[in-house]
A = this chain, B = another copy of it.
């Protein structure tokens, strides 16, 4: 019997597929939920997947009927009809996924004095007549300036393109949305002014729809970043983009498409139209920021790793392809450096209330890339750590993203493994917090030593020449392969936690502080919110401090984006934070290699 390796994206589940097993069966065996209504007969279009890499059986007649020639060319297949003939990478479109990914959209609530960049004005202009031949544009601007003592100077060209019939159909009464001195939208009076805040992560995208007049969050939703199919981490995605301009365009297009999809989802939840969104704020790491805007990324890949743009940007939504109000702008919070982006600034902005009165605080955003800032009486230094996607479940034998069936909590007591899964369903793998718990528990139990070596134990077996610890056995899984922690998994986690810890240590060293002097450790990001802090401290990823000094703040970057949406003052503050943050390139820090080698030891 032949086996091939199959990688299912965006869920991030990897496994072996038998040559006589359909992709659908393989996915099910691995716990990946692909919708299938026909029971494998290829009757419906439901188990559609896209093959990104690898070779497969010839398309069946059902598939030839189901797809256009362009779709076939793009690698679309029906999972129930397809057998792999080589190692493969398979993308499951969102519509074919049964279990949506868990994506953190919640975070701490921060109150803010609303002062959005968009203000609504009610106008009733006089109708045109033979004795008043002013143009429609002048009519609006003059009424606005006269009535409200403003200095409005122009109306966006896309707004002008509909202005005359709209004004007449509304009987010359309208709500005008002003941004600075420019009219960026016109609508019937009264209309809700909606705003969009986006946290564009390497793996996940969180979106929030806000009412700008009340500040209330009307809807929140998370989706996967579809760019993941073209590279899991920042570096591989940049590498893809600089390979050809067509590939960079592709990355940009799929991200924009996902954002527009997210906008539609958010709007349909509250029965709003996307044109009612008059302003958007987007935060993301520097690479996501650049890829979305179509900015060059080659220079991000080579020392000294500088961004094309670091300061905050205001760009017409249409210039990046985002479908909201025709004249609306997107505000992008500033980046700090090539690998510390606007999402980190947003996180610092959102958590300012926590760190600003502490003499020494650490703010840390754990993800595929981990950014750490040390805040020393308001002075900020930051580093970027290539922690990798291990905490997203990648490169871990039974790792998976946080979807149904993922073990998210784990305890090892009296040689017994107790666990909780997402959705409470039978386990199919481990997500980041589960992996962290497993390593911590095994380390504390002495099954793994400081070096990371797995010792002998009743649950340890040798598989393909390497020791692995059986968390859930074949029997417990009714014949499915056991869920284990392999020696290689431990090494991956050591590298990840070592990267993060050495980032913290470099920052402390640079300012000559010791760990104990840290008053607050702010942990942000989806992974950071779900972990048990004690596990992270146990393995040495985070410094050994009293637990009350740690604060998990959820998706603080998303909160920061919301703050930027609701208040111009917060945008100014974000610029100030970015400006006073000095970036330290880890590779150039004194003794970095030593610090890193030290940090990969557990405990």
Contacts and interface: CB of A to CB of B under 8 A. Distances in A.
Nearest to A337: B133
B128 A304 contact: yes
B157 A304 contact: no
A307 B513 CA distance: 68
Contacts of A555: none
Interface in A301-340: 303-311, 313-316, 319-320, 335, 337-338
Interface stretch (A4-12, A90-98, A134-142, A446-454): A134-142
Nearest to A141: B311
Contact of A133 (B130, B133, B154, B304): B304
A164 interface: yes
A133 B335 CA distance: 12
A89 interface: no
Contact of A135 (B130, B136, B306, B319): B306
Interface in A149-183: 154, 157-158, 160-165, 168
A319 to B, nearest CB: 5
Interface stretch (A61-69, A73-81, A292-300, A362-370): A292-300
A136 B337 CA distance: 11
Contacts of A307: 135-136
Contacts of A138: 310-311
Using C-beta atoms within 8 Å of the partner chain, give the interface range for chain A: 35 or more
A588 interface: yes
A136 B161 CA distance: 35
A583 interface: yes
Which of A135, A299, A309, A320 has the most chain B CB atoms inside 10 A of its CB? A135
Interface string A383-395: 0000000000000
A136 B338 CA distance: 11
A90 to B, nearest CB: 32
Given A306-B128, A308-B163, A310-B134, A315 B583 contact: no
Contact of A136 (B293, B294, B299, B305): B299
A585 interface: yes
A51 to B, nearest CB: 31
A338 B136 CA distance: 11
A129 interface: yes
A309 B130 contact: no
B295 A161 contact: yes
B130 A335 contact: no
B130 A298 contact: no
Contacts of A316: 157
A151 B174 CA distance: 36
A54 B442 CA distance: 85
B157 A306 contact: no
Nearest to A583: B133
B161 A309 contact: no
A540 B314 CA distance: 59
A320 B160 CA distance: 13
A296 B164 contact: yes
Contacts of A311: 135, 137-138
A298 B163 CA distance: 11
B306 A136 contact: yes
A338 B164 CA distance: 13
Nearest to A163: B308
A116 B311 CA distance: 29
Contacts of A308: 135-137, 160, 163-164
B337 A157 contact: no
A154 B138 CA distance: 28
B313 A157 contact: yes
A588 B310 contact: no
Contact of A306 (B134, B162, B585): B134
B165 A296 contact: yes
Interface string A575-603: 00000000101001000000000000000
Nearest to A297: B164
A98 B135 CA distance: 43
B309 A136 contact: yes
Contacts of A583: 133
A160 B293 CA distance: 9
Nearest to A585: B130
A325 to B, nearest CB: 15
A308 B313 CA distance: 30
Contacts of A129: 304
A534 B160 CA distance: 45
Contacts of A163: 295-296, 308
Contacts of A130: 303-304, 585, 588
A293 B157 contact: yes
A327 to B, nearest CB: 11
B137 A310 contact: yes
Contacts of A295: 160-161, 163-164
13 contacts: A128-B304, A133-B304, A133-B583, A136-B307, A137-B308, A138-B310, A157-B313, A157-B319, A158-B319, A161-B295, A164-B299, A165-B296, A165-B299
In the A-B complex, list the 7 residue pairs whose CB atoms are closest, starting with the nearest.
A135-B310, A164-B296, A135-B307, A128-B306, A137-B309, A164-B299, A130-B304
Given A135-B335, A138-B311, 12 more contacts: A128-B306, A130-B304, A133-B304, A133-B305, A137-B311, A138-B310, A154-B313, A157-B294, A158-B319, A164-B296, A165-B296, A168-B299
